[in-house]
Amino acid sequence: MKTFDELYPDLKYLDQVPIEDHFIIKGKEPRCCWNCGMPTYFIEGDFQAPLCSPECVKQKWEEFKSS
């Protein structure tokens, strides 16, 4: 699993990247991923929650859709 930090190493604070139908934003400080707990600078735009990788984003969207 590649993290957003590995996939987008050159992004700056508040830069956005579209991922599928969603987007991520680079934050200022690392936070624990809402899904796996790994530290990440990235925040998923719709949930407004730290998520570290495409896999974690996918997992949270699957949980949301099934609830």
Residue pLDDT, tens place only, 37-56: 999 999 999 999 999 999 99
**Burial class, 55, CB count within 10 angstroms (exposed 0-12 / middle 13-18 / buried 19+):** middle
Q: How many domains does the structure of the chain reveal?
A: 1
Mean pLDDT for 2-26 is: 94
Contact between 35 and 48 (Cβ < 8 Å): no
Q: What pLDDT does 20 receive?
A: 82
Residue 40: which domain range?
Answer: 4-66
How far is residue 3's CA from residue 40's CA, in Å, rounded to a whole number?
8
Contact between 45 and 24 (Cβ < 8 Å): yes
